[in-house]
A and B are shown apart, each in its own frame.
Chain A
Amino acid sequence: MAWAQKILRVNLNEGTVKSEPLNMEWADAYLGQRGLATKYLIEETDPKCDPMGPDNKLIFATGPLTGTMASTGGRYSVITKGPLTGAIACSNSGGYLGAELKAAGWDMVIFEGKSDKPVYLYINNDTAELRDASHLWGTSVWDTDKQLHKDHHDPLLRVACVGRSAEQGCMYSAIVNDMHRAAGRSGVGAVMASKNVKALAVRGTKGVGNIKDPMGFMKATEEGKKVLRENAVTGQGLPAYGTQVLMNVINGMGALPTRNMSEVQFEGAENISGEAMHEPRESDGKPNLTTNAACFGCTIACGRISTIDKTHFTIENKPQYWGASGGLEYEAAWALGADTGVDDLDALTYANFVCNEDGMDPITLGATVAAAMELYKIGAITKEQTGGIEFNFGSAEALAAAVEWVASGEGFGKDLALGSKRMCEKYGHPELSMTVKGQEFPAYDPRGVQGMGLTYATSNRGACHLRSYTIASEVLGIPVKTDPLETEGKAALVKAFQDATAAFDSSGLCLFTSFAWSLDDVAPQLDTACEGGWSTEKLVEVGERIWNLEREYNRLAGFTAADDTLPKRLLKDAANVGPAAGRVNDLDKMLPEYYELRGWTTDGVVTDETKARLGL
């Protein structure tokens, strides 16, 4: 079987580590990664706990296919109670760390309690120990990564760590691995830093070898790769343009939220698009995009590696930014760009680099800067707060300053680090925060793509596109084309996507494979790797079980149906231009049907029958 069947429990109060067998009964019911770690979290912690307190736990979890030759089989997730939302947080990352953890022989690492001094966890196969991190505290992700490689004399060490923003309590700080891949959303980095854990450094040389049916597995994964290769999105669009292939498409649909979601089309979209990243710059004749790159095991390679023009105002005399690093993905380009009204591609790339360097979620950061710009526009904040800087929509200078402040936790960065909900409340305008359950929206305006409204409103981790990416159907026609302006049928679509996504996220595979793969393609890969009879039907059931378990966690944490909503701006203020002009999001037409399809009460509570059916 492809599970390592072992978890590492780290007690930070005592400073001890111990190995435990993986609960295989739970693995059969929740598969791995997102689902399985959620099960552990709900069994071991009180959902009402303070996310930043010692009673919260922080789980790094791989899936059964992590570390195998299955395409994209390198994912891990961080599961905890999120400080930004107070809901279940589950942030997924690629890069190489997940596979390294699995190759070291561990399915999961559970951090519990709180260390009284900064530490990092060093894992070398079966050996794991907490080490002093006082020399790393106060340093960036990039410096921590560099220093740990130096300390261990090991160029192949894989590092996941938090930057300065997390140490300063930034509510949306990320855990960054391999310098530029991140478990990005909901503030999982802040939880790690609250426990005084700076980094996880892993070296695994045992590999993943206990495949159930090796010949069958090689055949199934090869067939999966063929499907990815021959699909237009995964075979061509994503390698060439990354997720940024969407910028011009979504803008054309009138679904690109602009200037804190007050508009739905951005006049500068073309300048910050995937196509623009390929264009040689006037200044130095080089394009922003240096190359595409893959995460561990990935045959798609959608990752963007970019280089900023050395003479750009953001990096003049700052050689640490002259090299290549992780560039703009679509959501980051939108949040840092369209949502703030900034169309300077290199300025956005700089902001993205700083997010890599000091571990911030660029979606929430960009959306929070956008909200601050609107507060500035209406006079709710002034130069007094912004340290004398004009904080206007469209100002690349303001964006660059803002990201630096959040990274270091200085000045106005303290307000920005709260996220838009708390910041807008502080300045008396909660209505300007574009959030659900405290988490900022990503790059699809639900007035122009109706299903995404239901996706955001019901997402278990707060506003998020990665819980049911109905864009696939409503825009790209995967698996079937549905009308983005229509609400009928969207409840069923969202439910189906949510359940399938939960299964993908628990397998060790990347959700982006689902542009080409359905669970029919995943099932044979899992079933040849693992015991348990992993059919499509079983995966759908496991996905639904996971979704309901997360929902239960949130109910126990204090969430109700009243939290399944959208900001008034999206429900009352119609889109001003484009194909969706005149439309708001008709959430009320979809939500009751969704509850019914889920087998929940009209108040959105999981019924006893549904629990019994799913074995919860």
Chain B
Amino acid sequence: MLRALHIEPSQCTGCLQCEMACSYENTGAFNPARSRIKVFNFHDQGRFSPYTCTQCAEAWCQLACPVDAITVNAATGAKEVNESTCVGCKVCTISCPFGTVNYDSATSKVVKCDLCGGDPWCAKACPTGAITYIDADHEGMTKMRAWAQQGLGEGFSRTAKTNAPVEKSVQTYVKG
């Protein structure tokens, strides 16, 4: 089963435990500045949003790399940067449409999320479930389910509780 990081921004409180966990796993220090997942704070809107690499199936960064330093981990599907091959040219940071491959001046190489070899620390550290590591085929299911539920309205659950067949009029009402 291929798994993917699933992010629910509405659950994020901006605590940065994910950034600390990521940087600790990858650099040995609690250092949000070198985290591969970033939480953005939209203060005026009262919103936080964690953001990181989605591990594209056909990855722009991988295609753009002139020295083939980015390879696929067959077990996790992660696009991993081979540090000894990377020449720090940053072409991948330009080619990535999402900005999730970044240059690290401390090492003169690029860094990106590698899913921690299949056990991502950010997801383990997140206290609110804003970041989870789920079956990649189920990505979007939570959102879909929420929309589906929202579409039901209250009428449906009353109907369901009594196991009565769903009246056509109820369905029409729900759609409106």
Cβ 8 A contact of A209, one of B31, B46, B48, B125: B31
Contact A293:B46 (CB < 8 A) given known A69-B21, A299-B17, A301-B128 = yes
Identify the closest chain B residue to A301 (Cβ). Answer: B13
Cβ 8 A contact of B13, one of A69, A208, A290, A294: A294
Q: Is the CB of B46 within 8 A of A290?
A: yes
Contacts of A293 in B (CB 8 A): 13-14, 46, 48
Q: Is the CB of B17 within 8 A of A297?
A: yes
Contacts of A324 in B (CB 8 A): 43-46
* Chain A contacts with B in 301-347, Cβ cutoff 8 A: 301, 305-307, 323-325
- Cβ of A225 within 8 Å of any chain B Cβ, yes or no, is yes
Contacts of A297 in B (CB 8 A): 15-17, 20
Identify the closest chain A residue to B20 (Cβ). Answer: A69
* Chain B contacts with A in 117-176, Cβ cutoff 8 A: 125, 127-128
Report how far A414 CA is from B44 CA in the complex, Å.
Answer: 30
Identify the closest chain B residue to A325 (Cβ). Answer: B43
Contacts of A323 in B (CB 8 A): 43-45
Stretch at the interface among A199-207, A372-380, A450-458, A551-559: A199-207
> Smallest Cβ distance from A243 to chain B, in angstroms?
16
- Cβ of A103 within 8 Å of any chain B Cβ, yes or no, is yes
Q: Is the CB of B127 within 8 A of A68?
A: no
> Smallest Cβ distance from A207 to chain B, in angstroms?
2
Q: Is the CB of A225 within 8 A of B16?
A: no
Identify the closest chain B residue to A203 (Cβ). Answer: B33
Q: Is the CB of A207 within 8 A of B46?
A: no
Contacts of B21 in A (CB 8 A): 69
- Cβ of B55 within 8 Å of any chain A Cβ, yes or no, is no
Q: Is the CB of A298 within 8 A of B33?
A: no
- Cβ of B30 within 8 Å of any chain A Cβ, yes or no, is yes
Q: Is the CB of B30 within 8 A of A208?
A: yes
Report how far A239 CA is from B12 CA in the complex, Å.
Answer: 12
- Cβ of A67 within 8 Å of any chain B Cβ, yes or no, is yes
- Cβ of B88 within 8 Å of any chain A Cβ, yes or no, is no
Cβ 8 A contact of A69, one of B30, B33, B44, B46: B30
Identify the closest chain A residue to B45 (Cβ). Answer: A324
Contacts of B127 in A (CB 8 A): 71, 225, 229, 299, 301
Report how far A71 CA is from B16 CA in the complex, Å.
Answer: 10
- Cβ of A24 within 8 Å of any chain B Cβ, yes or no, is no
Cβ 8 A contact of B30, one of A209, A292, A305: A209
> Smallest Cβ distance from A217 to chain B, in angstroms?
10
Report how far A293 CA is from B9 CA in the complex, Å.
Answer: 12
Report how far A401 CA is from B15 CA in the complex, Å.
Answer: 35
> Smallest Cβ distance from A325 to chain B, in angstroms?
7
Chain A residues with CB under 8 Å of chain B are 67-69, 71, 96, 99, 103, 156, 179-180, 204-209, 214, 225, 229, 239, 290-299, 301, 305-307, 323-325
The 7 closest A-B pairs by CB, nearest first: A207-B31, A209-B29, A323-B44, A324-B46, A207-B29, A205-B33, A290-B46
Chain B residues with CB under 8 Å of chain A are 13-17, 20-21, 23-24, 27-34, 43-48, 106, 125, 127-128
